Amino acid sequence: MPGLTVRKLSEETHRALRMRAARHGRSTEAEVRFILEEAVRPASRLKIGSEIHRIACEVGGMDELDVSRQRSEIQGADLA
């Protein structure tokens, strides 16, 4: 998983982050991850799985849908 280092963060900002994290019961690192996720992946974005579920509920669900999976051996590419 990628990492991120933030340099030259003011002591005041770092202290505010620690206090905010404490209010939410998270570590400072977890709070920063939460803030970044909310900023770049807002809750209002379209979530395809949720949308499929919503449509399925509108048409009566998918409980009776019989889906069978074809299980076969995976074959790699022949590069010779």
Contact 17, 6 (CB under 8 A): no
Read off φ and ψ for residue 20, nearest 5 degrees: -65, -45
Residue 54 lies in a domain: yes
The range of the structural domain enclosing residue 46 comes to: 11-58
Give the chain's residues under pLDDT 50. none
Q: What is the pTM (predicted TM-score) of this model?
A: 0.53
Read off φ and ψ for residue 25, nearest 5 degrees: 70, 30
Residue 41 lies in a domain: yes
Phi-psi region of 25 (alpha: psi -120 to 50; beta: other; left: phi over 0): left
Considering its fold, how many domains does the chain have in total?
1
How far is Cα 30 from Cα 52, in angstroms, rounded to an integer?
30
Per residue in 16-27, pLDDT (tens digit) is 999 999 999 999
The CATH code of the domain that includes 25 is 1.10.1220.10
Tokens (6 digits) for 45: 């974005």
Residue 25 lies in a domain: yes
